[in-house]
Amino acid sequence: MAAAIIVGAAVLVYSNTFGVPFLFDDYAAIRQNDSIRPPWSVGALLMPPGNGAAVQRRPVTNVSLAINYAISGVQPWSYHALNLSLHVLTALLLLAIVRRTLVQYGNRADSIPNASNHLSHNSLFLATLIALIWAVHPLVTEAVTYTIQRTELLAAFFYLLTLYCVIRGASSQRPTPWYAIAAGSCALAIGSKESAVSAPLVVMLYDRVFLSASWREVLRRRWPLYAAMAATWTIALILLPHGREGAAPFGHDWQPLEYAAAQLGVITHYLRLCFWPHPLVIDYGVHTPQTFWQVAPHALLIGVILIAIIIAFRRQPWLAFLGVAFFAILAPSSSIVPLFTQIAAEKRMYLPLATVVIATVMSTYVLARGLSVRHWPPPAQQPASVQRLELTLLGGLLVLLGCMTYVRNHDYRDASTIWEDAVQKCPQNARAHHNLGVAYENLGLIEDALDCYDAAIKLNAAHAVSHRNLGRILAKNGKIEVGLDHLKKAVTLAPDDAEAHCNLSVALASSGRIDAAIYHLRAAVRLSPRCADTHNALGLLLLQRGEADEAIAHFQQALDLTPSFAAARHNLDRVLAQDRIEKPLPERFKLVP
């Protein structure tokens, strides 16, 4: 019944997500990701493309996308179905872990004061309440609804599966199979997202707090398990060189200590959202460097929390474990290692939120038990009206959270809606303005798109993609010189952007500067050799310059990449039929009947 309630609640609040389109990073990870398209190559699946996609360093996530592509191609419904399934399974794992922990810990003499005798009896109710709150909490919507944030879902699922298997193995007569699954699950978690590297340490700390009497016992009984889990760190080391590289796209190169100082405010913001999840933002944009007095309040709060965790290890080790787990899971993204793509993101709170929910529910329960021992009869002797009031309050809280989640998911119904929401909540976010411009352009609202790109550039003059798109539209609409200025700026700011070179080439060609246009198209081909459109465009320009042989080679390359490319086939047929080509063509360029 508990599992059915959790599944039903999660499906209900996410029932409006199956039509959510692909957004932002989804395009590079799904639509432009050739490695997930059959016929599959094992090497490509395990080493996803190096084009800045969110699947880099994450082979498990990439394989899951390949499964979705086989089911529905680029139709998003199956991707959302799998995301929701993973979320539900993770909630059920959380239910099982909390219930088993309460049953086992509640029977210990040194467990939670005022509540130890009742933990086992109320374990299922408490575990169900915790899993329900987490499953319907609005703060996890980005991870579940935004397709490519499946990286968080997979990492969290395998993270908790690792812990669950260790718990089962510790009480099993045959623990080896459980421990083998735990080690394998830990490897899959790191292969889903590198932030799961904290799993071996967090699981070992859980062992010490809940399963063993000392660190000596932990190592004596399960050292092979932790050696195997530590070995999974090599996966992160192997995949690390294949990650996203390059300078910060926001025009600010964060230093480790500067980034850490900014994260103090980010973490306190995350904590506030746990208790008051509004407003929620898909993209927070740039966080400018802060002064000492701006950082000091956040540093003080985090310092107090860390001191409380240290004290709790002596008095309330279960609470200390939750605090350490919270910071350990967040550490890869919210410590001293600068992440250039986003300095803050709500998706990172997907699994850490569970520790906050557990700590809040259990602390409330402990306080309520302490009060009832002194001033109130035990639950079995409480009036039925009091019990109904308690259930009504809890039900109201769950309904409120569920409604907020459902409404938040509605914001994702199309690209323009979610980016309008981001611009409204973070008007200084240049990337939000740019992405709103892209959404408007796709809807044919060109003037609105131009305004958005212009706003992004005013907020951040180094925003290369906004220069690129603004220049492309201006050049296409006859404002060649103004458009060229923006396109040249885009190429200067992002010399490795193949699309910027392509757009600049088109503008140059339209103004008669063929040699310069060919130069930039060659650069685009070098940067993105598997783009059939670029090969076809380069072939056309080469024909204008009279270089028919090389043009033929590029038309053929375009067809090799996309056999159904009608324009490239037409261009190749046309050039082969020209009488001015006097010398025999190479065998591989002859037309196939």
Q: What does the pLDDT profile of the chain (593 residues) look like in tens digits?
A: 999 999 999 999 999 999 999 998 899 899 988 899 988 889 888 887 665 578 888 999 999 999 999 999 999 999 999 999 999 999 999 999 999 999 987 666 455 555 556 777 889 999 999 999 999 999 999 999 999 999 999 999 999 999 999 999 999 999 999 999 999 999 999 999 998 999 999 999 999 999 999 999 999 999 999 999 999 999 988 887 655 543 333 344 667 888 889 899 999 999 999 999 999 999 998 766 678 888 999 999 999 999 999 999 998 999 999 999 999 999 998 887 877 667 899 999 999 999 999 999 999 988 877 655 454 455 555 566 667 888 899 999 999 999 999 999 999 999 999 999 999 999 999 999 999 999 999 999 999 999 999 999 999 999 999 999 999 999 999 999 999 999 999 999 999 999 999 999 999 999 999 999 999 999 999 998 888 999 999 999 998 888 888 999 999 999 998 888 999 999 888 888 774 544 444 444 443 33
Distance CA 6, CA 10 (A): 6
Q: Is residue 564 part of a domain?
A: yes
Q: Is residue 444 part of a domain?
A: yes
Whether the link from the prior residue into 279 is cis, omega within 30° of 0, is yes
Measured CA angle at 342 (ends 141, 349), to 5 deg: 35
* Host domain of residue 446: 415-589
Q: Is residue 105 part of a domain?
A: no
pTM of the model: 0.90
Distance CA 82, CA 61 (A): 12
Distance CA 535, CA 135 (A): 48
Q: Which residues contact 346 (CB under 8 A, 6 or more apart)?
A: 139, 141, 142, 143, 270, 273, 280, 281, 282
40 phi, psi to nearest 5 deg: -80, 145
Distance CA 361, CA 333 (A): 26
Return the sign of the alpha-carbon dihedral for residues 549, 553, 558, 562.
positive
The CATH number of residue 467's host domain is 1.25.40.10
User: From the CB of residue 236, how many other CB atoms can be counted at a distance below 10 Å?
Assistant: 18
Distance CA 242, CA 232 (A): 17
Q: Is residue 557 part of a domain?
A: yes
Q: Is residue 112 part of a domain?
A: no
Encode 411-440: b = buried (16+ Cβ within 10 Å), e = exposed: bbebbbebbbbbbebbeebbbbbbbbbbbb
How many domains are there within the chain? 1
- Kindly state the tokens that stand for 29: 């990870």
Nearest to 41 by CA among 54, 59, 53: 59
Q: Is residue 130 part of a domain?
A: no
Measured CA angle at 565 (ends 440, 438), to 5 deg: 10
Q: Is residue 463 part of a domain?
A: yes
Q: Is residue 251 part of a domain?
A: no
Nearest to 135 by CA among 330, 45, 4: 4
Measured CA angle at 28 (ends 74, 505), to 5 deg: 115
